[in-house]
Chain A
Amino acid sequence: MALEAQKKPKKSGGDYRAGREKPSGGGGEFWSWIFMRISAIVLLFLAVGHVLIMHIPAGGVSRVDFSFVATRWDNPLWRTWDWMLLTLALIHGINGLRVITLDYVRKPSLRIALNFTYYILGFALFILGTIIVITFNKAKWGL
């Protein structure tokens, strides 16, 4: 039975893993595994910082309106932060969807269709977000 053939986690050290096992070799899955961890470290600051800043102080998202964002984006640091968050969170999240699909969807045609959907959606949202972050100009709206 396949279940018994699986390696059991040892009580101490060695094979026990908290997350996905590191794929061996230098192929795409190996680099995907590495990317998830490197992007995770950056996202710890960008995503957790973003969530805490936007949702906790001074009434949370109640204070977020056009002028709030316009003032925030006066500072190129916040535009850079938001663009990096957009980019890394999209790639990290879509790669996560791909890995989950790899685990649960066995039918190759459905898997390809799902992955294609993720990539198209991710690319479209990346382009949309990038255009908005770069081109936003509050002067256009008389501010």
Chain B
Amino acid sequence: MAKKRDYTTLYKGHEGQWSWVAHRVTGVAVILFLFAHIIDTAVIGWGPSAYDRVMRAYENPIIRLMELGLVAAVLYHAINGIRIMIVDFWPKTAEHQKQLFYGSMAVFLAAMIPITIIMGKQALDLL
């Protein structure tokens, strides 16, 4: 039987490994939400009272915090995905992979500041 160490990653704790782990975690989180989201949206086919009842389930500050997490997961996955594609399509940029990593994280965090404020307000409005 294959041992665990046979498929450890190349990166061993550097930026690349953590961004790769986070890419997988956010990807799985988003697809799991998508499964639920297709079903909750499909309820619209059963008319206004059914759909509006489902949508009301989201009107809850704790759900809104999870929603902020969802938006963060999509944005992280998108921005880190751009970084991955830059290195894939222009291998020379790998020489600057550290700058690319910190640059993409800066873009992500900068985007999350106004988003957290706006969505935080939305959540507080429900209290």
A26 at the interface (CB under 8 A from B): no
In the complex, A86 Cα to B37 Cα: how many Å? 10
**Contact status B74-A51, CB under 8 Å:** yes
Q: A41-B85, A56-B118 are in contact. Are A125 and B38 (CB under 8 A)?
A: yes
Report chain B residues within 8 Å CB of A65: 48, 51-52, 55
In the complex, A60 Cα to B97 Cα: how many Å? 36
Report chain A residues within 8 Å CB of B81: 19, 40, 44
Number of interface residues of A (CB under 8 A): 55
Number of interface residues of B (CB under 8 A): 59
**Contact status A9-B11, CB under 8 Å:** yes
A78 at the interface (CB under 8 A from B): no
**Contact status B39-A128, CB under 8 Å:** yes
**Contact status B75-A132, CB under 8 Å:** no
Chain A positions within 8 Å of B, measured between CB atoms, are 1-3, 6-9, 12-14, 16-19, 22, 37, 40-41, 43-44, 47-48, 51, 55-56, 59-62, 64-67, 69, 86, 89-90, 93-94, 96-97, 100, 103, 106, 121, 125, 128-129, 131-132, 135-136, 140-141, 143
Binding site secondary structure of chain A:
helix
Chain B positions within 8 Å of A, measured between CB atoms, are 1-3, 5-8, 10-11, 16, 19-20, 23-24, 27-28, 30-31, 34-35, 38-39, 41-42, 44-45, 47-48, 51-52, 55, 58-59, 67, 70-71, 74-75, 78, 81-89, 91-92, 94-95, 97, 100, 115, 118-119, 122, 125
